[in-house]
Amino acid sequence: MSLSQRHLALILIAPGLMLVAALFLYPLCFSLISAFSGPDGSFTLQWFAKAFELYSTDIVFTVVIVLASCALTALAAIVIAGTLTLGENPYIVGTLKALYRWPLFIPFIVAAQCMRTFLAKNGLMNNTFVSLGLMEPLQAVSFLDWRGIIATFVWKQTPFVALLLAGALASIDRATLEAGRNLGASRMRVLIELALPQVMPTLLVALVLSFVTMLSVLSVPMMVSGSQPTMLTVDMAFRINAYGDYATANALGVITYLISAGAAILYLKRGMSQEAPR
């Protein structure tokens, strides 16, 4: 490739590169630097000390919430994708196929609002139970705490994971599933022992993406559970809005990066151990 062509190539990708630099790299570097800079511009870890002092419970809370949501999302997605692939009742499969993708098109903030009206003490769910005579009005409790956050995350992310998983399941050789049933495996065993291992990489990718998405959502913890403990995104918004404390907020941001990097490393490690010859 001659020099002029190289220049041409650079010019062609320049707008995209500049956009990434201006909207992503610059803010990232800025927040990283500010997380480690004291008021006088020198290197310091004081913002991290402050973040851990004030929010260590929330860090653990965030990780637990997101991990629990991922686990439940995986379970729900496996049930849905498994039913779509191995289900034999055409009515159940057809209904599920038509319905399961809907939450994909609903924004987190709308989902959170729906959950508020559904899970509140006098919400739709409790009112339904009361009107069905399943419980007394006095027994009604609000689910608008960690349970509400998990419920919203799982409801919102399950279709995404199920979509990728069902696609992957549909593309494996169907005869490999039939071979299992032919040898005497029930549909459940076929799903768990024969189908899922073949689509594990897809499931992991979908879960890592969901993990990172859930980690970064502000609206859901803010709306569903206003009280303590809460998730790091709420803490960051609070530091900035209430105190104009960008430094601590940036330190919390770096901690969030590290958590999502942890998920990415776990995924990459697994991928590499599978590639390696045994």
Partner 1 sequence: MPTDLPNGPRSGASIAVRDLHVAYGGTRVLHGVSIDFTPGSFTALLGSSGCGKTTLLRSLSGFVPVQSGSIVVGGQDVASLPPEKRGMAMVFQSYALWPHMTVLQNIGYGLKLRGVSRAEIATKVSAMLAMLGLSGYEDRKVTALSGGQRQRVALGRALAIDPGILLLDEPLSNLDAKIRMVMRHEIRAIQQRLGLTAVHVTHDREEAMTMADRLVIMQAGTIAQVGTPEEVYDRPATAFVANFMGAENVLPLRVARSEAGASFSTGDATALVSSEAAQALPAGEAVAYFRDDVARLDAADAVAGGDLLVPGRIAARAYPGGVYRYRVEAAGRQITVDDADRHELGTTIGLRIPLQRLHIFPASEAGIAA
Question: Which residue ranges make up the site for partner 1 (CB under 8 A)?
Answer: 173, 175-176, 178-186, 189, 193-194, 197-198, 200, 278
For residue 190, the minimal CB distance to partner 1 (Å) is 9
Q: What is the DSSP letter of 102?
A: G
Closest approach of partner 1 to the CB of residue 275, in Å: 12
**By three-state DSSP, how is residue 37 classified?**
strand
Specify the residue, 136 or 173, whose C-beta has the smaller distance to partner 1.
173
Whether 202 and 164 have beta carbons less than 8 Å apart is answered as yes
Instruction: Return the amino acid letter for 51.
Output: A
Q: Which is nearer to partner 1, 53 or 88 (CB)?
A: 88
Is residue 89 within 8 Å of 170, Cβ to Cβ?
A: no
Nearer to partner 1, 93 or 237 (CB): 93
What φ, ψ does residue 43 adopt, rounded to 5°? -70, 135
CB of 179 to partner 1, least distance (A): 4
Whichever of 72 and 196 has its CB closer to partner 1, that residue is 196
Measure the CA–CA gap between 37 and 167, rounded to whole angstroms.
47
Phi/psi for 17 (5° steps) reads: -60, -45
Minimal distance, residue 246 CB to partner 1, in Å: 49
The least CB distance from residue 95 to partner 1, in Å, is 19
- Is 87 buried (19+), middle (13-18) or exposed (0-12) by CB count in 10 A? middle
Treating both helix axes as pointing N-terminal to C-terminal, what angle do 246-275 and 46-86 enclose, rounded to 10 degrees?
40
CB of 183 to partner 1, least distance (A): 4
The token duo for 116 is 């508020």
Nearer to partner 1, 65 or 177 (CB): 177
CB 222 within 8 A of CB 237: yes
Minimum separation from the CB atom of position 79 to partner 1 (A)? 20
Nearer to partner 1, 131 or 182 (CB): 182
* Minimum CB distance to partner 1 smaller for 1 or for 183: 183
| 3-class DSSP state of 163 | helix
Give the C-alpha separation, 73 to 153, whole Å.
Answer: 8
